[in-house]
Chain A
């Protein structure tokens, strides 16, 4: 079955960007799910932006809304039950939420691609990897089956899969976990998109393979000068790759900072908790810190700051007033570029 698409006009790579418009900008995005138990507000006013060649890491526990935000950007949320009551997702300055289904589909895969967490279940088990890779070229560029296969082999070589030509007709289950994730990366890379969203790309892999896959991803990102949104809950993965970090909690961004600043001086108690719960060699023998309690139930988000029941620094104001995401400054009032925190007590957290 060959389906060749009429070419839908897409904003060209030259458009936007040059005049300071970010590659992707998410503005005040809200996502809700209507469930039997009630309304779940999974994303509550998220703002972030990514430029070409830049890596944004979105950090957070399960249920913090990081994946839902990414799926909203991709346009692959199931609607219903999901709903986007307000917000804008600007790709090169064009609001994707106002586009038709066809316009969005033309962007998906070609301009914005996504890498999923579990490559085994995310690849179709009954189609060969060559077919699944080649499909990108056949559908978006109208290539013949034969040419698409040649391109698929090139892609597999690009992501360093040994004996690519011999393995192009193999099926996903015949590859190892790391090789499968490379195939996912190759698929996302196929049409050299402007932006790649990687949703926990290394979670299902063992540690040595994790490093290889992350290095590959970083290398390819530099080569193609792509924007990268890296969704993860692993602070170790982030440190080497990311340029800036957004920490999410209960559907909001609670802290935003350039990567090394965040590690050096967190400005939100939640971030501090995350950093303190990383095992460290110099603290061998001591008990490992853990943030007490569980992530909030999104059906009943605590009043005030959503983190207050788990926060060691919580005061009365935290239980009544939702803190806004405000810029963070040095003690003398000089601005810290790119830093913001949604904590009533950010000063105390960062400076003392």
Chain B
């Protein structure tokens, strides 16, 4: 187990270098320039621009810039400075990340609880009316785009029924975060439901379930212990990657509900051509994603003893 974790951590190094380099190159391939962006419509004097470019190291070749950036990051945990505000990227992320974290956790909770419950209910009644109703609902959730769903919910629950606030004014208020969390969770919830349903419907016919019934176990124990343990393994895989994706923020949902999260911050940085900010933010998100994936893989071994890591 220890060796496996060590190997996985080592594997993260090339992944980490690859992603950061790719993002760095892609941001610099875009037309535009963060220093020019500072001046807006006015044209700055060439001397000032040149000196600013020198100050931020933008006059050096791209690979040298990348090397310097990585050196600072690894040696001083310095993820760069946001040019527009002069603040360190870690500070910028420090503001945005808790907001995204709250939104993501709420969405994740909705997705896990509702998705698995609906999946189990549908799976146990595979082929019958309940199953078909759940199937249609999930199909709707998957096919309706996020912004459409967001606007519909806003229109119904905020504008007409006045149950919920249309926008998030206070990102620590979970009541206000509820609607965006539902919108964010909708598609994943549908996938979780379908995965659970398929897995349950398949395993419910397994021989060991027949054995469990023949042992005279009560139904809730047959389903809760024997069926669920086996059926949740594929669902956990999906949930793990989805948690990583949720942490990366949601540009559309955050925009719709006026949430100052990671997604919005990255979007702004891209618009302003701030390579360092984008790379800094994404690098941290890549790390979060990799760790989430590792945890899921380790969770496998806990759920399924046939999987052993060496």
Complex Cα–Cα for A105 and B221 (A): 13
Interface size classification for chain A: 20 to 34
Q: Mark A164-195, 1 if CB is under 8 A from B, else 0.
A: 00000001010000000000000100000000
**Shortest CB distance A336–B (Å):** 36
In the complex, chain B residues 255-310 whose Cβ is within 8 Å of any chain A Cβ: 303-306
Cβ–Cβ contact A124 & B220, under 8 A: no
Chain A residue with the shortest CB-CB distance to B217 = A139
Contact of A124 among B213, B216, B224, B229 (CB under 8 A): B229
Q: Which of B210, B220, B225, B229 contacts A116 (CB 8 A)?
A: B210
Given contacts A124-B230, A127-B229, A171-B306, contact A108 B214 (CB under 8 A): yes
Contacts of B304 in A (CB 8 A): 125-126
Interface residues of B in 194-231 (CB under 8 A from A): 206-208, 210-218, 220-221, 224-226, 229-230
- Whether A121 sits at the interface, judged by CB under 8 Å, is yes
A116 to B207, CA, bound (A): 9
Is A5 a contact of B208 with CB atoms below 8 Å? no
Task: List residues of chain A with CB within 8 A of the CB of B303.
Answer: 126
Contact indicator A173/B306 (Cβ below 8 Å): yes
A94 at the interface (CB under 8 A from B): no
Q: B224-258, CB under 8 A of A: which get 1 and which 0? A: 11100110000000000000000000000000000
A-B contact count (CB 8 A): 79
A46 sits at the interface (CB 8 A): no
In the complex, the answer to whether B216 meets A106 with C-beta atoms within 8 Å is yes
| Cβ of A159 under 8 Å from chain B | no
Contact status A135-B230, CB under 8 Å: no
Please, which residue of chain A has its CB at the minimum distance from the CB of B208?
A: A124
Q: Does A140 make an interface contact (CB < 8 A)? A: yes
Contact B215 A135 (CB under 8 A): yes
Tell me, rounded to whole Å, the shortest Cβ–Cβ distance linking B219 to chain A.
8
CA distance A106 to B306 in the complex (A): 32
Contact of A123 among B211, B213, B218, B221 (CB under 8 A): B211
Cβ–Cβ < 8 Å partners of A297 in chain B:
none
Q: Is the C-beta of A130 less than 8 angstroms from some C-beta in chain B?
A: no
Q: In the complex, which residues 296-344 of chain A have their Cβ closer than 8 Å to any Cβ of chain B?
A: none
Q: Which residue of A lies closest to B212 (CB)?
A: A124
Q: Which residue of B lies closest to A5 (CB)?
A: B218
Q: Does A350 sit at the interface, judged by CB under 8 A? A: no
